[in-house]
A and B are shown apart, each in its own frame.
Chain A
Amino acid sequence: MTDDTHGEGAGWFAALDPDDPDDPGDQGGPDAAATAITAGSAETPRDWPTLAVEAGFAASTDDYYDRLHDATTAATRRTVRERERADDQQLIHAIRAVDDCERVANELAERATEWAGGLFEEAPAGVAGAREVAARDPSTDAERRAVSLATRAVDLADERDALAAYIERVAPAVAPNLAAMAGAELAARLIALAGGLEPLAKKPSGTVQVLGAEDALFAHLAGRAPSPKHGIIYTHDFVRNTRPEDRGSASRALAGKLTLAARVDHYSGERREAIHEDLRERIATIRARADDAASDGGSADE
């Protein structure tokens, strides 16, 4: 290799050792080649295939293209994986931060409104009360502290809303089917409970059904309680707004489709309309049982 092929304006192969392309510990290994593709740059293209053969990087143009195919494929695969992994991790941080902000905002708001209650006229408890207190004009040192504390509580509540809006935007990109089926927040919670989209996609539906109900599950396994019917998916309308005796069926059906949705999202990433229709149909069937029971009860009364 001659020196003029190095540095700015050189081809991706310039700093790679051509002799041992399959040794990952070597300068010319697939990792180094992928990094050269990803991180390199040049202002102007040149006749890279010919230059690579002249520089001894490749034996022939065909050999060059084979190496280029391996390097571009490895580089793209690596970057795709990194970005996708990063995205579900952002979602996990964001949903945990939502819970932290909400909890601390409520605690601080409680403290601030209680304090302000002794200084001004009574304000309602909670974040709404803190907003009233924060808007006041303090005149004493104590009032200044109480108003300032209320302002922090309100800021945290606003941050919680901003985080929730961020989750609404990001969840459909990370997991389009899961977010469409569960809503952005529940999708993020399921991903967070599983530790990522990939681990969620690999869980059986029965585990997804009770994610977030670990205490109840272990009490059941220890023989102290009945098996939990649902975990965090209880917050979904399909479970919550189904009558109690049918909630087991509803949460089983929902968990089954959520699992499918997570798998489609992880392995294909395309929106698959059929699983959403299947679930709506199944829930309609389960809820129709209540209507049947009502009409049966009616006829029995007669």
Chain B
Amino acid sequence: MSEDLPAGVERREFDGRSRLATRGEPVYGEPTDGAWRAWDPTRSKLGGMIELGMDTGLVGGETVLYLGAAAGTTVGHVADFAGPTYAVEFAPRPARDLLDVAASRDRLFPLLKDARKPATYAHVVEADVDVVVQDVATRGQADVAVRNARFLADDGRLLLAVKARSEDVTADPAETFDGVLDRLGDAYDVLETCRLDRFHEDHLGVVATPTR
């Protein structure tokens, strides 16, 4: 597996195991090595996508819109290696933890907003971001991605984790993924897909770029 990790992400030894890591304040008691902290691919879809060798196009220092930030586990790592990072989360309770993550990261901007309604944060999130990361567990995940395409630069990337069970708990995940990819085609060209089952059951990782 060729490794093109973004600047600011490295493989380091934790308890004899080589693991992904970024530099920043610990968030939830993860193992640390000096300023470095382990990035657990089983807790983070984006971590899983990188661990599985998907070509995310991340280089470090980019401007990021992160949809579905939850308590900030993943977005904390993103803010560690990326540039300005907008973190959108809908639920107040996890947002409280997200605030703690943002407290030690001055380029992480927490926004308590509904990712299905981009107009409620387009007055804050800048145009032409380099990357949209999406990990929202609601129905209509493709719709969310399509509506948020307006924020992406022409050569930007969508890094999407699709949860099959959020769309339809009874359907075969493979069919659900086909439906999501079909809808994504309205606004994106899909570059790569990869099942994340090794780390996240019934999830599909998608890398896409906007159709212009």
Contacts and interface: CB of A to CB of B under 8 A. Distances in A.
Contact of A43 (B95, B108, B122): B122
B151 A45 contact: yes
B110 A41 contact: no
B109 A72 contact: yes
A12 interface: yes
Contacts of A46: 126-127
B162 interface: no
A69 B109 contact: yes
Interface string A94-105: 000000000000
Contacts of B98: 76
B107 A76 contact: no
Contacts of B171: none
A47 B128 CA distance: 8
Given A45-B151, A68-B109, A40 B123 contact: yes
Nearest to B28: A270
A298 B98 CA distance: 60
Given A45-B127, A269-B93, A80 B112 contact: yes
Contacts of B95: 76, 79-80
Contacts of B127: 44-48
Contacts of A42: 119, 122-123
A48 B123 CA distance: 8
B178 interface: no
B123 A69 contact: no
A49 B127 CA distance: 10
B126 A47 contact: yes
A173 B92 CA distance: 11
B102 interface: yes
B154 to A, nearest CB: 14
Contacts of B94: 269
Interface residues of B, number: 29
Given A76-B99, A80-B96, A12 B123 contact: yes
Given A65-B84, A76-B110, A77-B99, A44 B122 contact: yes
Contacts of A73: 99, 102-103, 109-110
A36 B127 CA distance: 18
Contacts of A76: 95, 98-99, 102, 110-112
A10 interface: yes
Interface string B81-99: 0001000000011111111
Contacts of A280: none
A188 interface: no
B120 A41 contact: yes
Contact of B124 (A12, A79, A80): A12
A173 B93 CA distance: 9
A83 interface: yes
A107 interface: no
B99 A80 contact: yes
B131 to A, nearest CB: 14
B30 interface: no
A18 interface: no
Nearest to B111: A72
Nearest to B86: A72
Contacts of A75: 111-112
A42 to B, nearest CB: 4
A268 to B, nearest CB: 8
A133 to B, nearest CB: 45
A40 B124 contact: yes
A49 B183 CA distance: 32
A37 interface: yes
A68 B105 CA distance: 12
B150 interface: yes
Contacts of B99: 73, 76-77, 80
Interface in A1-21: 9-12
Contacts of A40: 123-124
A84 interface: yes
Contacts of B109: 68-69, 72-73
Given A65-B107, A69-B107, 12 more contacts: A9-B123, A46-B126, A47-B126, A48-B126, A48-B127, A69-B106, A73-B102, A79-B92, A79-B95, A80-B95, A269-B93, A269-B96
5 contacts: A36-B123, A47-B127, A48-B127, A66-B106, A69-B107
Interface of A: 9-12, 36-38, 40-49, 65-66, 68-69, 72-73, 75-77, 79-80, 83-84, 173, 268-269
Interface of B: 84, 92-99, 102-103, 106-112, 119-120, 122-128, 150-151
In the A-B complex, the 4 residue pairs with the smallest Cβ-Cβ separation, listed nearest first, are A42-B123, A45-B127, A72-B109, A42-B122
